[in-house]
Amino acid sequence: MITAEDILGKDFARDGVDMDGFQKQARSYAIYKKEFKTVYPTLGLVSEAGEVADKIKKWLRDGDANKEDIAKELGDVLWYVAILAEDLGYPLSDVALMNIDKLDNRKKRGKLRGSGDNR
């Protein structure tokens, strides 16, 4: 299994990957034109999410899966989320904290189940 330390070195990976540090490093790999800001990462995000879904579909069909391949696709999803968040002006850590806050609020109100953004 590949670890963050294998890729990023001991100093970066010692306490896990810092979300904002990941976002900053992810930006260094972005090569799309500025006029496609938000559009390019959105299209990439749904494309990569589809690749994750396809691997899960095949897992259901075949009964086995290469979980590391799925994790790599999840990394691609994370890259696009990080870039899209930055294009929208948000540090990735803020997006994560907003999500936890939203879920915590739903849990306190007994609304984890159901549908809709503002339940």
Q: How far is CA 116 from CA 44, 110, 111, 112, in A?
A: 24, 14, 10, 10
| pTM of this prediction exceeds 0.85 | no
CB contact at 8 A, 81 and 27: no
Rounded to whole angstroms, the maximal C-alpha distance in the chain is 44
Which domains can be identified in the chain, with CATH numbers? 21-108 (1.10.287.1080)
In this predicted model, what pLDDT tens digit does every residue of 26-58 receive, in sequence order?
Answer: 999 999 999 999 999 999 999 999 999 999 999
